[in-house]
Amino acid sequence: MEDKKAREILEHYKYEQNQLIHILQDIQTEYRYLPRETLSFVSRELKIPLSRVYSVGNFYNAFSLKPKGRHLISVCLGTACHVRGGKRISEEIERVLNVKSGGTTPDQEYTLETVNCVGACALGPVIVVDGKYHGQMTSAKAKKLLSAMKDSGGNGKNGKNKKS
């Protein structure tokens, strides 16, 4: 199978086997996950075993072998966030989006995940939406943020409800 985007990425890295992690990062950025067909293509083109490509793709948490939504929502459940209601916030987001943690909405718009720590304990509870931190979160604020995201078609920055 010919994969034009993957070929461009491989050309950028001059088909160097030692650039596999960077190649997979770029593929992940392009597709929001590592498609099976693309990994097979990379394996053939770099002349390395598919098992090695999968090994790298499975080892690093930054990589996903399952499709992710256009928007990534990470709910911190580290100790500080957990004791301040992080679990309730996660459950509210699950309810509003109708998706369980670790899943993606059927329309491929949102992926919800829980993480052990985002390194912003003083702001807890924290959710991270597309890389933007939202601290001192509550279930009500999370619901408002999701509504703003849906209204704006983005991460809530241009929606009617800008505050989190």
Q: Flag whether 64 is marked binding.
A: no
SS3 of residue 47 by DSSP? coil
Is 38 annotated to bind ligand?
Answer: no
- Judge whether 121 is annotated as a binding position: yes
Q: How many CA atoms lie within 13 A of 33 on its CB side?
A: 15
3-state DSSP percent of the chain in helix, strand and coil, to 5? 50, 10, 40
Query: Do 104 and 68 form a contact (C-beta atoms < 8 A)?
Result: yes
Residue 81 annotated in ligand binding: yes
| Residue among 159, 91, 80 nearest 126 (CA) | 80
Q: Which residue positions form the known binding site for [2Fe-2S] cluster? A: 76, 81, 117, 121
Q: Which residues are annotated as a binding site?
A: 76, 81, 117, 121
